[in-house]
Structure 1
Amino acid sequence: MKHDHHEHHAMDESLPKVQVKTAYDSGIVTIEVRDAHNTPVTLTETHEKRMHLVIVSADLETFLHVHPIENDSGDYEVKLELPEGRYLSFADINPVGMSYVIEPIAITVGEAAEKPETDWESLVKNESSTKDLQGKTVTFQHPELIAGKSATLSFDLHEDTPLPYLGALGHVVVLDELGTRFIHVHPASDDQTVFEASFPYPGFYKLWAEFKFADTGVLAFPFIIEVGEKS
C-alpha cells in the first residue's frame, strides 16, 4: 500500500496544466476537468476513486468528502444537498500526463452572508484532544508542531478497530485557517492510525480524521491545531 501525502500537487512546468471548474445546481455538484482545448482529461484512480472531492463551509465547520462519478459528457458529478451558504471545494485528482495543483474553488448556494470572523486563538485554547461522535471516541496526540517540520499525528480509537476505507486505515484532511492550503495524508503503516504530516507555514489549521466503523460507517473527527514558527 502506498502511504502518500497530498498537498498542492507539485507543479511540473513541462506538462500541460489542468483546468478545473466546479458548479452547484439543484442538488448536483458538477466538476469539469479539462485541458487547454476544453477536452475532458483522463484521471488515474487513486485510493480506489478517480476523484476525491472535499467540500467545506467557509467557516470550516461543515466537512464533506465525496466521490463524484464520470457522466456521459466526461465531467464528474455527485448528488449533494448543500444548505444555503458559502463553501470551498477541493478536487483531489491525478490527471494522466498533466500538471495539477489543488486549489480551492468557491461555491455559493443561495444568498449567502459574508463569512464571519473566526477567533482561532480562542478555539485552540478551548480545544479538546478527545472527540466523541455517534458513540465513537478518538483521542488526538501530536508533538509541538513547527512549520516545515515533519510531525507524527496519532489517533487513539480506544476500544474500536477501524475498517479499511478507500485503501487505507484512515484519512486525514487538513486546511489552513484561510482554507487555501489543502493537505491529505494516509497512515504511515497498514495497522496503525498514525500519520506523518508537515505544515508549510505557522498559523492555525483545522483537520478532520476520517475512520470507518462497522456499525456507523465513516465518521470525520474535527480538531484544531496551531503550528509554530521555525526557531
Structure 2
Amino acid sequence: MKKRMMLMLTGALAVGLLAACGTPKEGADGHGGTHQGGAINALANDNGHGDHGGQDTGGHAADNYKATFTFASGTAKASENTKLNVQVTDTNGKAIHDFEWNHEKLMHIIIVNKDLSYFSHIHPEWDGKGTFTVETSFPKGGEYKVFADFVPKGGSGTTLSKWVKVEGETKPQEKVKADAELVKVVDGKEVTLTLSSAKAKDETTLTFTVKDEKTKEGIRNLEQYLGAVGHVVVLSEDAEQYLHVHPANEKASGPAAEFMTAFPNPGTYKIWGQFQHQGKVFTVPYVVEIQ
C-alpha cells in the first residue's frame, strides 16, 4: 500500500448558505435554480471532460457530443439574473432527448471564474424538447467557465465546457496557490482533507473528516446529498482538467467521507467538497499541489 500522506491547511472560511447552489466567491451550498449565471455571447461547444464518477477529464464520451450554451438575453451582465440554456447534440447536430439520472439529476452545471475563487453548482430544468434551462447570475464581470455534466441514455458520463465572458466590473485575478495545510472551518464545522497520495496518476483517496468546530467531536449524521455522502469537484488551476471523483462508500454518514480519484498530471488543483448536515449544504474548498 502506498504510504499515506497528509496535507493540512488551517484557516477559517465563513461561508453563507444560500437556497441556490454555490455562492459568489467560494460558493457554499447545495443546488438550486437561481444563483449564479451569466451571459454567453456565442454558441458554445467545447472540450469534453469526463464525469463525476471516474478518473480524468479526457474521456472519449465527450467526442460524441456537442453542447450549445446560450443566454436568453444574448449577453450577461454581472449581478443580473439571466436565463442559461443548454442544448446537447450528437456530432451531426441531431438533438439528444434522452438522458440518464446522474446523482439524482439529469444535468449538473458547474461554473467557475478564471482564478477559481468563485464556484457554483446548479441544476437546470429539462423541458423534454431538447433544452435544459436555469436562471442564474454572476457576481463580477470577466471570464467564467461553464461545465455541463450529463449522461446520455445508454451512454457514459460526459462533461462539455465553454469559457464565457460576462459584462461588468472585474476584479484583479489572483494566482491559484496551494494550501500549506488542509483544515477549513465552514458553517460551524471543521473539515480536514487528507490525500493518500500527492503523486500524479496514483489512485488517490480523498478523505474529508467533519467535526463540530466548537466541540471537535466528529459529526456522524451527515445526510445524503445527491444520492451519496457528498459531492466532490476537482479542477486543474487552468480549469482544463475536470476530474472524475466517486465516493468509496455512498452510504457513509461521517465523520469521514472518502472519495476516489486520480490526478492526471503534476500541478495545482482545486477541490470543492459538498456535504449536507441538518438540511443545509455546505461547501469546503482546498488547493493542493500534485507532484
The TM tier, using the shorter chain, reads 0.7 to 0.9
- Per the alignment, residue 29 of structure 1 pairs with 84
Q: CA deviation at 1:182?
A: 0.7
Question: Number of residues paired by the alignment?
Answer: 219
Match of 1:177 among 237, 242, 245: 237
1:17–1:98 CA contact under 8 A, matched in 2: no
Question: Counterparts in 2 of 1:191-202, with a 5 A limit?
Answer: 191=252, 192-202=256-266
- Per the alignment, residue 224 of structure 1 pairs with 287
2:69–2:84 CA contact under 8 A, matched in 1: yes
Aligned equivalents of 2:152, 2:172: Cα separation in 1:
32
Match of 2:184 among 116, 131, 145: 131
Unaligned runs of 5+ in 2: 1-51, 74-80, 212-217
- Per the alignment, residue 51 of structure 1 pairs with 107
Q: What SS does structure 2 have at the residue aligned with 1:182? A: coil
Q: Does 1:164 align with 2:220?
A: no
Question: Which amino acid letter does the alignment assign opposite residue 138 of structure 1?
Answer: V
Cα gap change, 1:99 to 1:46, in 2 (>3 Å): closer
Q: CA deviation at 1:196?
A: 1.4
Aligned equivalents of 1:40, 1:142: Cα separation in 2:
38
Aligned equivalents of 1:103, 1:39: Cα separation in 2:
15
Unaligned runs of 5+ in 1: none
1:18–1:98 CA contact under 8 A, matched in 2: no
Cα gap change, 1:101 to 1:167, in 2 (>3 Å): closer
Segments of 4+ in structure 1 off by > 4 A? 97-101, 111-115
Question: Counterparts in 2 of 1:98-117, with a 5 A limit?
Answer: 101-111=158-168, 116=173
2:55–2:262 CA contact under 8 A, matched in 1: no
Aligned equivalents of 2:196, 2:261: Cα separation in 1:
12
1:88–1:105 CA contact under 8 A, matched in 2: yes
- Identity rate of aligned residues, in percent? 30
Post-superposition Cα deviations, 1:66-106, rounded to whole Å, max 9, x if no partner, equal: 11111264200111121233211111111125577524311
Cα gap change, 1:44 to 1:112, in 2 (>3 Å): farther
Q: CA deviation at 1:116?
A: 3.0
Aligned equivalents of 1:12, 1:76: Cα separation in 2:
20
Match of 1:64 among 108, 112, 120: 120
- Per the alignment, residue 10 of structure 1 pairs with 59
TM-score, with structure 1 as normaliser: 0.84
- Per the alignment, residue 90 of structure 1 pairs with 147
* Higher-RCO chain (CA-CA 8 Å, sequence separation at least 6): 2
Question: Which amino acid letter does the alignment assign opposite residue 129 of structure 1?
Answer: L
2:230–2:257 CA contact under 8 A, matched in 1: yes
